[in-house]
Chain A
Amino acid sequence: MIPSSPFLCVITDEAYSPVTLAEQALKVGAAMIQLRHKTASGSQLFAWAVAIGKLCSEYHALFIINDRVDIALASKADGVHLGQDDLPAAAARKLLGNSRIIGVSASSVEEAVQAEKDGADYIGFGHIYPTVSKLKEHAPLGPDNLQKTVESLSLPVVAIGGITIENAPILISRGAAGVAVISAVSRAEVPSKAASELLSALQKSLP
């Protein structure tokens, strides 16, 4: 199921070939890959999903797809990650059954609590720090809100948004089960090196 803490989830984006990025992240130890690409066609997403799914099973990592439950089902991915504008978690659960993983994005304690009620398996909470990856509607949430959310839930909470090697250990110490990154890896000069450094930072957070 959800990888053991503290883990790194690498999210693909439009800046880098998703399959290449996934492989770079997996070979240094990322435990979760999320395929996220808002403009690719269905057939392209499906082809990427099949390729990344195969890599993830070779590396014993978890493979989830953003928003597209249809493609997760067709490619037999391990699960989906749903934003607040995507399919509601309860509807996705009916389609995916209990053996697959559903993550839900939340940007407040209330959204996170609701997602837990709706049957989510983990919460993506953020953005914690300022980030360039996405246009943001609200101010960064910060580590205090992360901790409040962790304490309000029994689900694992993955911190996202502006994660660096400096702040990642802080978020783990505040109760995050893992961290998720987009641009910190996809837009790094050498993505595998960036992922590897994040993983070392997470290990340092362990007592």
Chain B
Amino acid sequence: MPHNNRKGTPLPRIFMISSGEEQGEGRGELIEHLTLLPSHIPCIVQIREKHLHTKDLLTLAQRARGIRLPEGSLLLCNERADVALAAGLDGVHLPENAVPPDKLRAYAPDLIFGCSIHSPEALRSAEQAGADYLLFGPVFDTPSKRKYGPPQGLKKLGELCRASSLPIYALGGVTPQNAALCMDEGAYGTAGLSIFRDTSRMRETLEQLYSILNR
């Protein structure tokens, strides 16, 4: 069953994270990628550019907001509720060490807040603090996360999904080939960064994921 967001529309099943390589003044690949999203595939798009100065992050967020996204899509930024509000985004994705969502919700009641979690303890705190969705990973092996040790695996994903009624997105090495395994464990959807970067294959990847995740 789809989870509804605060606007009453279902949360998208596909969660796309920006490369982390955007440049200042809104230069980079994100804007191009947003224009390439197929109009029938709603996505959560998280602008995650931690290296940018706040001013440049705001400029990027405002430019992204100006793109017409597939209906039902949600545009989030990483951590900064001030930037989300200033740019008119839909919400904020919070890393595990960020300010808890209930403290932010107090002054941003209309934003969607999601939380990264890496453990059952983090899942409980995020639930108690009123998160709208959770992001868990890395489920599979992914080059960018190898420095943090082995992947967390499908079994742990399943345990967390069964322990929570919140929608959980599986992140880390998820592809159209293994996405169904995440769904079998109870994931609500899947998230990725690198699989969306090849613009020549982005549409095909999204179509494949969309049909698997909405089965």
User: A residues near B, CB below 8 A?
Assistant: 41-46, 67-71, 73-75, 84-88, 91-92, 94-95
User: B residues near A, CB below 8 A?
Assistant: 53-56, 58, 79-83, 85-86, 94-95, 97-100, 103-104, 106-108
User: Which chain A residue has the least Cβ–Cβ distance from B80?
Assistant: A70
CB of B99 within 8 A of CB of A70, answer yes
CB of A85 within 8 A of CB of B98, answer no
CB of B98 within 8 A of CB of A42, answer yes
CB of B103 within 8 A of CB of A69, answer no
CB of A85 within 8 A of CB of B86, answer no
User: Which chain A residue has the least Cβ–Cβ distance from B56?
Assistant: A85
CB of B53 within 8 A of CB of A95, answer no
Selected A-B contacts with CB under 8 Å, 19 pairs: A42-B97, A44-B97, A46-B103, A68-B82, A69-B82, A70-B80, A70-B83, A71-B99, A73-B104, A73-B107, A74-B81, A75-B103, A86-B55, A87-B86, A88-B55, A88-B58, A92-B82, A94-B86, A95-B82
Closest 4 CB pairs of A and B: A41-B97, A85-B53, A69-B82, A42-B98
Residues from chain B with a CB closer than 8 A to the CB of A92 are 82, 86
Whole-angstrom distance between the alpha carbons of A73 and B99 in the complex? Answer: 11
Whole-angstrom distance between the alpha carbons of A42 and B53 in the complex? Answer: 15
Whole-angstrom distance between the alpha carbons of A86 and B52 in the complex? Answer: 10
CB of A74 within 8 A of CB of B55, answer no
CB of A74 within 8 A of CB of B86, answer no
